[in-house]
Amino acid sequence: MQVGTNTSFILEGKRNNPVLVLANSLAASPSMWDTQVKSWVKNYQVLRFSYPGHGDTVANDKVTTIDLLAAELMALLDQLN
């Protein structure tokens, strides 16, 4: 799934549960968490997302920095409320 940030993500779990955000390592995809998520969704909404150029998120023309990755995550969280 994607929202206005063009960040691909997977959000699983009960809507009113606290959100657990999983950020995978570079050159990996959110699927690396598949096994663990099965347990975590019992108590959390689990948000997995892809960095630009990783997983299903399209690469952009910007030089990526930690600050840019953090800003994109914050924009995604804002859009998901």
Q: Is the pTM of this model over 0.85?
A: no
What rounded mean pLDDT belongs to the chain? 83
DSSP 65-79: -HHHHHHHHHHHHHH
Residue 41, classified by CB atoms within 10 Å of its CB into exposed (0-12), middle (13-18) or buried (19+), is middle
Is residue 48 over pLDDT 50?
yes
Give the CA radius of gyration of the chain: 12
pLDDT digit string, tens, across residues 53-73? 665 666 677 677 888 888 888
Comparing 41 with 66, the larger pLDDT belongs to: 41
